[in-house]
Amino acid sequence: MSSKEKSVLKSTEDKLSFIDLFFLSFGGQAPFISLLTFGTAMIAMVGLSGSFAMLIATTVVLFNGLVVYYLSKKFKRGGGYYVYAVYSLTPRLGLNTGWTYLIYALSYGGTLLAGGAYVLHFIVKDLFGNTLFFPLSQQWFYALIACVVASSLVIAGVKVSAKYAMIMSSIEMIAIAALAVYFLYISGWKFYNPIPKSINSSLLDAVVLGLGIPTGYGSIAPLGEEATSRDIGKAAIAVLLFGGLLATFFFYSLGAIDFTGNLVQYLLSAFGILLALPLAFIALNDGVLGGMSYILANSRTLKAMAEDKIFPQFLAIKRNGKPLYAEIAISVIFTAVIVLLTYYMGLYNAFVILGSLAGMFNLFIHLSADFSLIRTSLKRLSKHKVEIIVGIVAVLISLFTMLYSIPGFSDYIVYTFMGWIILGFLYAEAREMMSEPEEEK
């Protein structure tokens, strides 16, 4: 076998499979943390209709997932949303999409890391009270642990990350399903109709919250060089449907026991020390999974932008077949931002701030992808009518969600969102002016 054939064979073996992508994407959902946070808030809003709200949210997310499904088949290059916009819209809009994705992935991955660290700290403090010594008594220490573990897995290699995601995500799936069955059991197998008699604002609020649960597919879109485009699209759809339906089942079981309140406290009071340690492990693992997925995605987006000379080109250099410098840079940024934010504001506030920012930037990212699909599909209108319809529906959904949810965000979140986008456009303008040849005098 020639060296070229060996190289091709090795490249094929190193590709992430559909199963790898599925579990990486499921890890990007951080389902356990999402259910503990978004989920209990949804139940508090709509009670028995929580599962119905989650089913609607899953259907809504499906349209944006279909956009990624179609776009991933059109573009083989890694970089995800940035690449979609560069080749479908304009280089300037591509730059701003990539620029926005960098902070979106930081915010979303940071939310999951902070959420995992928060639940871990909550359980440790509940078990040991004020007897904890330094640094176990400090919230920033738990954030540091989560960030270091997630970063180490990414730098160890994408295959290592995928293997970790496969094992730990399987444990989470079993734990969530087991808890749901247990709740139904203690309810006396109470089955009920979760569909409300009328649609009200509380239900819409719950749906908006639910949109954040099955969106882990955004973490695999930039992995075009590590996987085949067809597998990325298939995994995106499979994981959002599986995650959304699992969450729907979980919320249905919570409704059966008429649950409202803090789910972590409820579980600790029901099971005590028997569940405390496994729950702490699952919480930390969940945050690590989510953070790891988005560090991977962010490093691939940064690499693609560095290849196009938007950022320093050394960030695109590969070592052992991976963008090591981009991974290190993103890992350092993730760790610095999350630990510092936790140090000054605490884990809960860090979670709320990053989660709000992730929600805002998520809408911009998906609008960019939706318009990318519409633009590319218009070139051959007769063959891509379904893609155009999906893109238009996704645009309408994203715009509705944006207009509906913006008033609910704090001013500083909206200002940060607008400020970052404006900075991106200013950076694009500055680059263009610098690249223009000087006029002859």
Q: What are the pLDDT digits (tens) for 178-191?
A: 989 999 999 999 99
pLDDT for position 5: 43
**261 touches 47 (CB < 8 A):** no
Give the C-alpha separation, 439 to 347, whole Å.
53
pLDDT(93) > 80: yes
For 74, other C-beta atoms within 10 Å of its C-beta total 18
**Which of 106, 19, 61 has the alpha carbon at shortest distance from 213?**
61
SS3 322: strand
DSSP result, 110-168: HHHHHHHHHHHHHHHHHHHGGGPPTTTT-HHHHHHHHHHHHHHHHHH-HHHHHHHHHHH
User: Is-above-0.85 flag for pTM?
Assistant: yes
CA distance to 121, 131, 194, 344, per residue, from 134 (Å):
13, 10, 47, 17
Give the C-alpha separation, 22 to 380, whole Å.
31
Give the C-alpha separation, 161 to 151, whole Å.
10
Look-up of token digits 């940024």: 333
> What are the two backbone dihedrals, phi and then psi, of residue 16, each rounded to the nearest 5 degrees?
-75, 135
Q: What are the DSSP E strand ranges found in 267-353?
A: none
Q: What are the pLDDT digits (tens) for 230-262?
A: 888 899 999 999 999 999 999 999 888 888 777
Those residues whose C-beta lies under 8 Å from the C-beta of residue 2, and which sit 6 or more positions away, are none
Write out the H or E segment, with its range, that includes residue 182: helix 158-186
**Which of 78, 158, 63, 85 has the alpha carbon at shortest distance from 364?**
85
Q: How confident is the model at residue 144 (pLDDT cuts 50, 70, 90)?
A: very high
pLDDT(441) > 50: no
Across residues 275-294, what is the average pLDDT?
85
**Which of 104, 103, 275, 100 has the alpha carbon at shortest distance from 179?**
275
Helix 81-88 with 273-307: angle, nearest 10 deg: 30
Q: What are the pLDDT digits (tens) for 389-427?
A: 999 999 998 888 777 777 777 888 889 989 999 999 898
pLDDT for position 95: 92
**305 touches 311 (CB < 8 A):** yes
Q: What are the pLDDT digits (tens) for 347-400?
A: 988 988 888 888 888 888 989 999 999 998 888 777 888 999 999 999 998 888
Give the C-alpha separation, 286 to 257, whole Å.
25
CA distance to 30, 147, 246, 348, per residue, from 140 (Å):
20, 10, 32, 11
pLDDT for position 137: 85
SS3 257: coil
CA distance to 41, 183, 324, per residue, from 178 (Å):
21, 9, 39
pLDDT for position 436: 64
For 57, other C-beta atoms within 10 Å of its C-beta total 25
pLDDT for position 74: 84
pLDDT for position 8: 41
Give the C-alpha separation, 9 to 17, whole Å.
15
**Which of 14, 360, 337 has the alpha carbon at shortest distance from 161?**
14
Q: How confident is the model at residue 11 (pLDDT cuts 50, 70, 90)?
A: very low
